[in-house]
Chains A and B, each alone.
Chain A
């Protein structure tokens, strides 16, 4: 037996080495996590400190309380949120039925739809805006009373600029397409729809009650990406002369540096809160399996022999 049992010292050494190897990835994860935290949280904390620590006054929330009363804050925030909601709705109403229809009835058109949806990626926002601007400014006087001219006027209504909504929908198309397409790829769409129809569901009910609930993740992600895009979009809105939240932040920054930084911090927090609310809303409606059902002792084994 003695010959088979290595001395305690030599046996412990490989064990220590193995343990060391196991700990090394954790150590690296920690280091990477720390660097990432410093990279992201450092500027944020510095900004926060800058806004609440005023030389000579010490700690104060004055710059934050001032935001609420600042001219244009509420109107720009409301406009941005309205645009975000409308962009999400229009993008999904356009894309979801189109992608489902293409997959079910004309799969050969998928490539064409993909190319069309990806086109906005190769058109810079400045070029897009210049094009929109040129079209909207065009119109001889003779056209003044025509529906086309009136439509041009309507879409530029500063209360709710539809032209911005259309531009945002275009800009969101590539992101939304990729996300929804990935969600649809993960489903056996044809069989699901056929099974639903076989169970007595009409086409619309099959889509609403079977396809959409199983696309929840993709729909939520599309909502996240579109929301983030609209909240942060500056170029198009600024060139076309509208003042949603991002444009307002830049405009206030010129007059009051401290308030500008406060607004930036607040807009970040606002974005996170909205994203979290979207995620929570999606999770709340999702039908998650009850916890422990997989191994629940209450669930009897199948009556016939089969692997479970």
Chain B
């Protein structure tokens, strides 16, 4: 890191990380409920990803924090201060938008300096800070370029520098990578995470890409229909999903028919008795939710299951196996192992004796 970059980091870090709290937020658009009593807290300095399907309310919550939407009920607090009535231009939240939102008539440096100009900073100060911030995002030599002369990735870096120039208490990222191609997305993802950790700035990151959320965030909040389903660290979210929705939305899950055993803490899945994770539904038929990496597959000419498909994913291959009752189960196998299980092979499946999540059967 150069001296100016270090100065820019130190300056931005000076803003510190704030606590952000959403308290029972409600928002309705006509007949659609966007937020239905959302309760969520972002800790100082953490990167909290808001993850969920389209229409789950994640962007609405972010826009409320930025001041672009108002809530029908509830509070938005930053460091304990209710900012509901603070206009958007005084909230001190830097935002990076999904669409490249650079001002087309300004250069990269002009864009970064815009916020400082609004605050009345002098020309030399603006020029110096804009240079430092562009250096921080790796675009030191492109200060004089206009948005139309830059790639999508470069534009989003400038947008990030522009947001950081305000020394914001909170950084808001509204699907900033979704318009970029896969390679740039991966690189920029790491860059954003590095900068966020360096600056220690509280960051809310909206995405519908679970891989993005799991790889970048300190914690991930999964939203569904305007409500919080679960908020947890990525590893915990993956290993111990609180609900079947989280289990199926984050990562891949297979549903395998499960049978009650009379013991409320166990179910029988493919002939094996397994402990239940969480609560066992009190009525109805059940499915066990199983991750593909938990399934063991062995070649067995007398086995009742059949391999029906295989997808090469690099070091592993995802194999789809059909059980005698027609249920399809996915299993992740080392590619060398999968090589001896071509489609049509007869196999047997086993599950480790680990707690499984159980849900009502989906027909």
Contacts and interface: CB of A to CB of B under 8 A. Distances in A.
Verify that A and B bind, or say they do not.
Answer: yes
Contacts of B103: 192, 195-196, 210, 213-214
Contacts of A304: 138, 153, 187-188, 191
Contacts of A290: 144
Contacts of B183: 305-306
A308 interface: yes
A287 B106 CA distance: 7
A16 interface: no
Contacts, number: 112
B312 interface: no
Interface string B100-119: 01111111001000110011
Interface residues of A, number: 35
B97 A194 contact: yes
Given A192-B101, A196-B103, A213-B105, A302 B138 contact: yes
Nearest to A198: B95
A5 interface: no
Given A194-B97, A205-B118, A214-B103, A308 B154 contact: yes
B149 interface: yes
B67 interface: yes
Contacts of A198: 66, 88-89, 93-95, 163
Contacts of B146: 289, 293
Interface in B179-229: 181, 183-184, 187-188, 191
A102 B223 CA distance: 33
B141 interface: yes
B138 A199 contact: no
B154 A302 contact: yes
A129 B252 CA distance: 73
B99 interface: yes
A191 B101 contact: yes
Contacts of B107: 287, 289
B89 A293 contact: no
Nearest to B191: A304
A306 B151 contact: yes
A149 to B, nearest CB: 46
B149 A293 contact: yes
A89 B93 CA distance: 37
A202 B118 CA distance: 9
Interface in A154-204: 188, 191-192, 194-202
Contacts of A188: 99, 101
A20 interface: no
A200 B166 contact: yes
Contacts of B150: 308
Interface in A209-252: 209-210, 213-214, 216
Interface string B108-149: 001000110011000000000000000000111110111011
A205 to B, nearest CB: 7
Nearest to B98: A191
Interface string B216-256: 00000000000000000000000000000000000000000
Contacts of A194: 66, 68, 88, 95, 97, 101
B145 A293 contact: yes
Nearest to A212: B105
B97 A191 contact: yes
Query: Which of A194, A198, A205, A209 has the largest number of chain B CB atoms within 10 A?
Result: A198
Query: Which of B104, B140, B181, B187 has the largest number of chain A CB atoms within 10 A?
Result: B104
B13 interface: no
Query: Which of A197, A205, A287, A298 has the largest number of chain B CB atoms within 10 A?
Result: A197
Contact of B118 (A200, A286, A287, A307): A200
A196 B154 contact: no
A7 interface: no
B292 to A, nearest CB: 32
Nearest to B137: A303
A19 interface: no
B151 A307 contact: yes
Nearest to A201: B118
A294 interface: yes
Contacts of B141: 298-300
B27 interface: no
Given A192-B103, A304-B153, 20 more contacts: A191-B97, A194-B68, A194-B88, A194-B101, A197-B89, A200-B115, A210-B103, A213-B103, A287-B105, A287-B110, A289-B146, A293-B145, A293-B149, A298-B141, A299-B141, A299-B142, A302-B154, A303-B138, A304-B187, A306-B154
Interface of A: 188, 191-192, 194-202, 205-206, 209-210, 213-214, 216, 286-287, 289-290, 293-294, 298-300, 302-308
24 contacts: A188-B101, A191-B97, A194-B88, A194-B95, A195-B95, A197-B67, A197-B88, A197-B89, A198-B89, A200-B90, A205-B118, A210-B105, A213-B105, A289-B148, A293-B145, A298-B141, A299-B145, A300-B141, A300-B142, A302-B138, A302-B151, A304-B138, A306-B183, A307-B181
Closest 9 CB pairs of A and B: A303-B138, A199-B115, A200-B118, A300-B141, A195-B101, A306-B153, A213-B105, A197-B88, A306-B184
Interface of B: 66-68, 87-90, 93-95, 97, 99, 101-107, 110, 114-115, 118-119, 138-142, 144-146, 148-151, 153-154, 162-163, 166, 181, 183-184, 187-188, 191
